[in-house]
Structure 1
Amino acid sequence: MLNGVGALWQNTAVRDKQNGKLVSIGSLLDLLRNRRWLLGQLAVVIGSALHFGALAFAPVTVIQPIGVLGIAVTTIATARRDRVNPTIGTWLSLAAIVLGVGGFTSLAASNAQVTRVSDETAVLIAMIVGLLLMVLGLVGSIGHGLVRCLAFAAGGGVVFGFASVVIRLAALSLEHGNPADFPTGSLIGAVLSIPVAVWFIQQAHASGPPDLVVAALTLADPIVAIGIGYVALGEGATTSTIATLAEGVCFLLAALGIVMLPKTRRKSSDKSAAPSHAAQYSEN
């Protein structure tokens, strides 16, 4: 909930200054003097801290589906801000995202067992995360409107997914009393990547609505976290074909909901008598 409300406040502050434009370093520094942006960032920081703290006590399969509720909070709050009533299409898109992300996370995480990370594996994970960020950053830089929004939001999700894996590994090493397995290098890398995630997310806010930003973040986060487990940690070896197909269906369902969400927003804004932020998002 905190992440959803924080995203809305940040989005409003960023759009007021950088509507549809790339956020420069100077503009980002200007946001540090914006009270609404600071409150939004504080809400996101607290929400993220609670999320990572929860990962120390429960697996991703329990925590991540709860985080999906942030999409609902942001969608409803955005509709109230823009003074439009969510259409049936909006609710259907929202349901598809929530069910898709929740189902994907539950299926994938229940078939994966987190293990220790060797130095070689840590380097591989860092390379995968870095490559994903480079590709998404390039797409976001040359893209426009919703393409830019989704690319940069997904980039932020990549970082949070990486951080989720590292936090879970660190918690398990402490829980089992194995300090040798503590992912010190990966933890340092996760902390250093946070500023990149913040910059990516501000770019996403400048080009799209807050609920779409949160939806893309929430979808990318578990995909990256579980994908790292499959590729780098070899956790996908025990996953059955049926479970893999079901995960694919859930992913496609969530992706369809994200694609349809801005289209339903356009219909909502068209029905509104007064101009709103929603119309601006659709034009971008």
Structure 2
Amino acid sequence: MPEFRYGNAAVHYGDNGNGTPLLLLHSGGSSGAQWRKAGEKLTARRLLTPDFYGYGGTDGWDSDETLQHDDQADLVVAALTHAGLADSTVDVVGHSYGGASAVRMVLRELANVRSLVLIEPMLAPLLAEAGEKKLFGEYEFLAHGFLDRIRKGDERGAWAFFIDYRNGAGTWNGFPDKTQMRFLGQSEATYQAFESNLANPTSLDDCRTLSLPVTVVCGEKTTAPDRRVTELLRDTLPNAQYVIIPDAEHMSPLTHPEAVASIIETHMARIESGGWS
């Protein structure tokens, strides 16, 4: 895995395969490794899978300033530059937290992004803007449930609350110790991720300016707030297609990697053939 220095941080990213560059941005509580299974089906692509601040092999955020999605976007662009792709056209896939950072990267025109695949991007503030108070309140319940437990020093309780919300009651207790320890090692990074999610400045008006092709992906069995965010994007983005993954919840790149890879390949084939409409 390539490594370089960016500011005070050591940054790691995966760089595998040949062909058209495809940038894959991971969810919170994960790393670039979350794309391994889906990547096995994307063999015709050069896959770039950076680790965000505090995840995988990348050092944590060391500033007193609150970490923002813009900071993660800057980090991703630095990885593209290190990979020799600063002036190249790239297509970007972003899941959850990574989807929010991908949108910031495009809005700020930090790279030559041709198209996006957004898998349930973490854009919960759009719910508040759209008047979806109940659904935004559900996301706030999740975010503050994690943040408040961390502030009280209850890391295990924070992760049990978060993991069980995402995957069903009892999931955390069913994890082996090794898996629990991996999550516990990401407590600070995930705390910062929730803060950056709540502070994300992306608006519906911003989304209306994104004229590039976007495939918006939603799991059939995801949570109501995540589903509604994807619906808002479907109805707001000027050049969007909408795909539902049957039986999938929020973590579809891990639970349904073949379906995710198929959606990405279909998206890419349409882009490359000029068949997007």
TM-score computed with the length of structure 1 as normaliser? 0.26
- Higher radius of gyration, 1 or 2: 1
More helix by share: 1
More strand by share: 2
